[in-house]
């Protein structure tokens, strides 16, 4: 039995469900109004310049100040804090550093024990930091639930229990449709597995703003509306800056100039957290394909509607398909419903004009009704999209440039809400020349296989997307192309 998605034309009723939705990420729209920090004007000196005001940049700023409160840290954000993926994601806060255990074992086999331990330590540190910094971001540690929605996914629940159980996770299996539907009620569910301690869900925009506030309190200078245009040698070391321990090891190195439209940061070290956006370092672009992912947010459910689906334990849900939906409840019982289509456009453009995509919203609205027919009539209040920094290994990778004075972390591939805290730590350790078990690992030292240049890149990604959709229609049979990629350890995900 194939996946249950109709793939029939979108009806007027289905379109009406989202037609009036505000075309803006719900999380950002729901934030209280705030005045952004003014843009950078003129030249400033710093020990560390961070580019990007998403989770990677914000955690890097907080780690840097925790390492050395005296370090001068400047953060540049092209738009506003949380404008990128960090303010528009599903809010699934999952601890894995490897995009799940299966992918981790397949790609990093020998290091999986280390990466699992580092991932758990990172998740524990993440929860503790949110608490310590007093950030109210509606974090609920409810785990991750994967229902089977097609016969070929049925074995997955038992396999998950075995695999995750072996690594010490607490897994509950719903062995059949009745058990699964008693947990969350959808007529398409056949069985499922709930990894209870995988992480949870949160409000990502509240987290981004909370991290930025904490960074400001720690003395980080944040400039919003300030794109970094170029990064290069600045010449002589900056005067005065650099007393902090973090910069001591290479205190005599020439500084780096990060040029902006109306000024520059002259810094000893630079950390880049620019994700799917065109990086000021062109070399990153070989490894990252910006893939658009779309989501709808429903109006709050009434208590009767909520009762009709159960979902008392409020897990984050992702169905078991190659083309999968992810969905979760918000604090006020809306349903965020996203995924399924992942859209790559030739040349990899990123920009607000790509945030609205009617074809995908139509498909999402249609599949929502198939999943929860009892919620017929529920409308969506927000619709949006965002660029995912997809790389061929599905997990963050790292690199340095300008003789080690610049480091970056990118390529989280749709699972960066928690792992950005780890990515930021590693990027900072690389740029500070710290030797840790993480910086020594192959996971950190190795890069993913690069994507081919255009026009081959879009052709290969499109072919892979088509084959994945076909596999869902054909009882999961992956066929020659996906089989070849599997054997080469390559892939495409969002
Ligand atoms: C629709 C969607 C759903 C997702 N769902 C989930 C999920 O449920 N769980 C999960 O774990 N992950 C999810 N992700 C992925 C997750 O959001 C990202 O991995 C994570 O937010 C990446 O953080 P970041 O700081 O590296 O990048 P971003 O948040 O994208 O931040 C990069 C920032 O850099 C700025 N910038 C770019 N270029 C420059 C420049 N030259 N100068 C200055 N600033 C610049 C951008 O404006 C942006 O604010 C999702 C992503 C999307 C798009």
DSSP string across 251-288:
TTSPPEEEEETTEEEEEEEEEE--TTSPPSSGGGGGT-
Ligand 1: which of 52, 62, 267, 281 to mutate, judged by most atoms within 8 Å of the beta carbon? 52
Place of tokens 């409840």: 329
Sign of CA dihedral 455, 458, 462, 463: positive
Ligand 1: which of 23, 36, 85 to mutate, judged by most atoms within 8 Å of the beta carbon? 85
Distance CA(383)–CA(82), nearest Å, equals 17
**pLDDT for the residue 245:** 37
Residue identifier of the C-alpha nearest atom 52 of ligand 1: 89
292 CA: nearest ligand 1 atom:
53
Q: Is 319 helix (H, G, I), strand (E, B) or coil?
A: coil
Residue identifier of the C-alpha nearest atom 53 of ligand 1: 386
Residue identifier of the C-alpha nearest atom 35 of ligand 1: 52
Neighbours of 447 (CB within 10 A): 16
**pLDDT for the residue 236:** 61
328 CA: nearest ligand 1 atom:
8
Residue identifier of the C-alpha nearest atom 41 of ligand 1: 228
Residue identifier of the C-alpha nearest atom 9 of ligand 1: 92
CA of 276 to the centre of ligand 1 (A): 7
Q: Is 346 helix (H, G, I), strand (E, B) or coil?
A: coil
Query: At a CB cut-off of 8 Å and minimum separation 6, what does 426 contact?
Result: 396, 398, 409, 436, 438, 439, 444
Ligand 1: which of 83, 84, 390 to mutate, judged by most atoms within 8 Å of the beta carbon? 84
CA of 54 to the centre of ligand 1 (A): 6
**Counting runs of H as helices and runs of E as strands, what totals does the chain give?**
15, 18
CA of 479 to the centre of ligand 1 (A): 33
Q: CB-hemisphere CA count at 13 Å for 45?
A: 12
- Fill in the DSSP letter of residue 340: E
Residue identifier of the C-alpha nearest atom 37 of ligand 1: 274
User: Structure tokens of 432?
Assistant: 């500070």
Name residues contacting ligand 1 (CB within 6 A): 51-57, 76-79, 83-86, 88-92, 94, 227-228, 273-275, 277, 280, 293, 295, 338, 386-388, 412, 414-417, 420
410 CA: nearest ligand 1 atom:
26
Instruction: Pick the closest to residue 380 from 25, 44, 11 (CA basis).
Output: 25
User: Structure tokens of 431?
Assistant: 């740029």
Instruction: Pick the closest to residue 493 from 276, 350, 340 (CA basis).
Output: 340
Ligand 1: which of 51, 387, 414, 415 to mutate, judged by most atoms within 8 Å of the beta carbon? 414
CA of 308 to the centre of ligand 1 (A): 34
**Distances from the Cα of 293 to the Cα of 79, 187, 271, 276, 457, angstroms:** 20, 26, 26, 12, 18
pLDDT along the chain (494 residues), means of 10: 86 96 98 97 98 98 98 98 98 97 92 98 98 98 96 91 96 97 98 97 98 98 98 72 43 89 98 96 94 97 98 96 93 97 93 96 97 97 97 95 97 97 98 98 96 89 81 75 73 68
**pLDDT for the residue 237:** 55
CA of 478 to the centre of ligand 1 (A): 30
Burial 241-272 (b: 16+ CB within 10 A, else e): bbebebbeebeebbbbbbbbeebbbbbbbbbb
**Distances from the Cα of 335 to the Cα of 12, 245, 365, angstroms:** 21, 46, 12
CA of 159 to the centre of ligand 1 (A): 32
- The pTM (predicted TM-score) of the whole model is 0.95
CA of 9 to the centre of ligand 1 (A): 32
Ligand 1: which of 416, 428, 494 to mutate, judged by most atoms within 8 Å of the beta carbon? 416
**pLDDT for the residue 220:** 98
Residues 168, 172, 173: CA angle, nearest 5 degrees: 120
Residue identifier of the C-alpha nearest atom 3 of ligand 1: 89
User: Residue 68: what are its φ and ψ, rounded to 5°?
Assistant: -155, 95
């Amino acid at each position: 039995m194939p996946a249950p998605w109709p793939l029939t034309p979108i009806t007027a009723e289905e379109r009406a469900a989202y037609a009036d939705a505000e075309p803006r990420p719900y999380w950002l729209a729901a934030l209280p109004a705030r005045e952004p920090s003014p843009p950078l004007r003129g030249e400033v000196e710093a020990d560390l310049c961070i580019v990007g005001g998403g989770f990677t940049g914000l955690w890097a700023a907080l780690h840097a100040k925790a390492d050395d409160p005296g370090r001068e840290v400047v953060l540049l954000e092209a738009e506003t804090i949380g404008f990128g993926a960090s303010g528009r994601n599903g809010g699934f806060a999952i601890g894995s550093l490897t995009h799940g255990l299966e992918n981790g074992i397949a790609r990093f086999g020998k290091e999986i024990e280390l990466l699992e331990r580092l991932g758990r330590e990172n998740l524990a540190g993440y929860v503790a930091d949110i608490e310590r910094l007093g950030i109210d971001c509606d974090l609920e540690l409810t785990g991750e639930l994967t229902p089977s929605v097609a016969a070929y996914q049925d074995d997955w629940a038992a396999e998950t229990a075995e695999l995750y159980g072996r690594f010490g996770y607490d897994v509950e299996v719903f062995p059949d449709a009745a058990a699964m539907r008693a947990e969350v009620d959808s007529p398409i569910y056949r069985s499922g597995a709930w990894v209870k301690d995988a992480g949870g869900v949160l409000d990502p925009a509240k987290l981004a703003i909370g991290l930025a506030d904490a960074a400001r309190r720690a003395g980080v200078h944040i400039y919003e509306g300030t794109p970094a245009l170029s990064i290069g040698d600045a010449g002589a070391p900056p005067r005065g800056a650099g007393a902090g321990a973090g910069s001591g090891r290479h205190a005599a190195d020439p500084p780096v100039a990060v040029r902006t439209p109306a000024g520059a940061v002259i810094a000893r070290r630079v950390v880049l957290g620019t994700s799917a956006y065109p990086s000021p370092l062109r070399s990153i672009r070989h490894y990252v394909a910006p893939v658009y992912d779309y989501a709808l947010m429903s109006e709050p459910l009434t208590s009767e509607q909520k009762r009709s689906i159960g979902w008392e334990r409020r897990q984050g849900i992702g169905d078991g398909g190659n083309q999968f939906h992810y969905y979760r409840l918000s604090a006020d019982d809306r349903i965020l419903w996203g995924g399924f289509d992942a859209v790559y456009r030739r040349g990899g453009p990123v920009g607000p004009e790509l945030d609205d995509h009617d074809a995908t919203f139509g498909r999402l609205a249609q599949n929502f009704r198939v999943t929860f027919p009892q919620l017929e009539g529920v409308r969506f209040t927000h619709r949006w999209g965002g660029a995912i920094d997809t790389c061929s290994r599905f997990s963050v990778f790292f690199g340095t440039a300008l003789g080690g004075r610049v480091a970056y972390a990118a390529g989280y591939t749709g699972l960066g809400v928690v792992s950005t805290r780890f990515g930021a730590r590693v990027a900072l350790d690389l740029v500070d020349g710290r030797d840790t078990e993480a910086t020594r690992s192959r996971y950190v030292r190795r890069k993913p296989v690069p994507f081919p240049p255009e026009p081959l890149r879009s052709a290969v990604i499109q072919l892979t997307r088509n084959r994945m959709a076909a596999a869902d229609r054909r009882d999961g049979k992956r066929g020659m192309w996906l089989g070849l990629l599997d054997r080469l350890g390559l892939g495409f995900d969002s």
